[in-house]
């Protein structure tokens, strides 16, 4: 397949160089580690540091959420691969102002292992690091073992809430508590219509037959809950919404925030078609939408598909969601 790349083995390095040049007013590349991108003013004096990280190919996640009142530093991994422990550690160093660091990341084995190693390294420097692990993907494990679930677009809400709490002067424990509340009240589901192509491989890493869709597909092509014939957009939207509502046990009268994210090659037109029916379905369940985000927020290279993410709100989460923030992935005034 045709791609705008140089050497397939250096696509991440080339992307980072272009990203920091394009957004130099907001971010910079760490002098400690070429695979760490930081907010230009980090560490912010008197503020808990916010760190995340993960594999490339999900842009704007993860580096797109570095910015003012958001993530302070991000460890950037190779395509669909965890950043090494050293990168997480260097991101922690870049974010630390002496108030501790909250590392907010997705539930994948490599990330979990490398963050733990980075925590041990930071502990030797007497830097306190605490974590929240996003596990919002309802298709990746049953409700009874939700601690095994992967993190997908729910991370956006976790970073937004945690970043706002830190910017408002919250302690490390308070930041962790708010970020954990955000992810505990968030659920996501993906539907894939066609697979993605990893640049270094040059061919799809899984298959979805023409005329089929994979309900619950993972962001790296992990098998979904079922493969079925493609349906009308309204039917897909309802199936996604109903699956999340069943898992959340959400009551009528609740308020939610919604993300409808493309997975890489999905036209915005189609995402808005999905959202129209998603909101109808929520209203039928007496659930009101407080804030909605439609666009590319967490992708999967060039996969054709969509992710639906719903966060149940309370007073605190609404206030933190509304707090001003500036990053390339999300901006709130």
- 43/69 Cα distance (integer angstroms): 12
Q: Which of 23, 35, 58, 150 is catalytic?
A: 58
- 152/68 Cα distance (integer angstroms): 22
A 10 A CB-CB count for 314 gives: 11
Handedness of CA 133, 136, 140, 143 (dihedral sign): positive
Has 219 been annotated as catalytic?
Answer: no
Handedness of CA 32, 115, 332, 323 (dihedral sign): negative
Q: Which of 35, 150, 219, 220 is catalytic?
A: 220
Phi-psi region of 36 (alpha: psi -120 to 50; beta: other; left: phi over 0): beta
Rounded to a whole number of angstroms, the CA Rg of the chain reads 19
- 158 SS3 class: helix
Q: Which residues pair with 71 in a beta bridge?
A: 66
Max intra-chain CA distance, the chain: 56
Question: With helix as H, strand as E and coil as C, how does 94-147 read?
Answer: HHCCCCCEEEEEECCHHHHHHHHHHHHHHHHCCCCEEEEEECCECCCCCHHHHH
Closest C-alpha to 224, from 233, 232, 234, 236: 236
The answer to whether the CB of 24 falls within 8 A of the CB of 16 is: no
Has 58 been annotated as catalytic?
Answer: yes
A 10 A CB-CB count for 25 gives: 8
Catalytic center residues: 58, 220
């Amino acid at each position: 397949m045709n791609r705008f790349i140089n050497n397939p083995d250096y696509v991440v390095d080339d992307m980072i160089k272009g990203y920091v040049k394009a957004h130099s007013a907001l971010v910079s590349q760490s002098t400690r580690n070429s695979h760490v991108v930081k907010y230009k003013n980090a560490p912010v004096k008197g503020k808990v540091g916010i760190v995340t990280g993960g594999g490339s190919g999900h842009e704007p996640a993860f580096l797109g959420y570095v910015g003012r009142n958001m993530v302070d530093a991000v460890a950037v991994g190779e395509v669909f691969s965890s950043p090494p422990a050293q990168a997480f550690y260097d991101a922690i160093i870049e974010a630390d102002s002496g108030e501790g660091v909250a590392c907010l990341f997705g539930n994948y084995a490599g990330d979990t292992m490398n963050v733990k190693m980075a925590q041990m390294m930071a502990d030797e420097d007497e830097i306190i690091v605490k974590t929240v692990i996003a596990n919002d993907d309802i298709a990746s494990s049953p409700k009874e073992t939700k601690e095994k679930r992967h993190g997908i677009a729910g991370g956006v809400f976790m970073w937004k809430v945690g970043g706002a709490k830190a910017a408002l002067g919250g302690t490390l424990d308070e930041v962790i508590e708010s970020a954990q509340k955000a992810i505990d009240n968030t659920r996501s589901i993906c539907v894939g219509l066609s697979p993605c192509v990893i640049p270094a491989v040059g061919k799809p890493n899984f298959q979805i037959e023409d005329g089929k869709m994979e309900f619950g597909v993972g962001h790296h092509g992990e098998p979904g809950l079922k493969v079925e014939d493609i349906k009308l957009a309204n039917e897909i939207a309802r199936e996604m919404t109903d699956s999340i509502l069943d898992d959340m046990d959400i009551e009528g009268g609740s308020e939610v925030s919604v993300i409808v994210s493309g997975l890489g090659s999905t036209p915005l037109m189609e995402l808005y078609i999905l959202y129209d029916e998603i909101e109808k379905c929520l209203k039928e369940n007496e659930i009101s939408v407080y804030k909605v985000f439609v666009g590319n927020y967490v992708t999967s290279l060039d996969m054709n598909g969509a992710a639906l993410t719903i966060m149940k709100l309370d007073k605190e989460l609404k206030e933190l969601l509304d707090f001003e923030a500036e990053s390339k992935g999300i901006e709130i005034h």
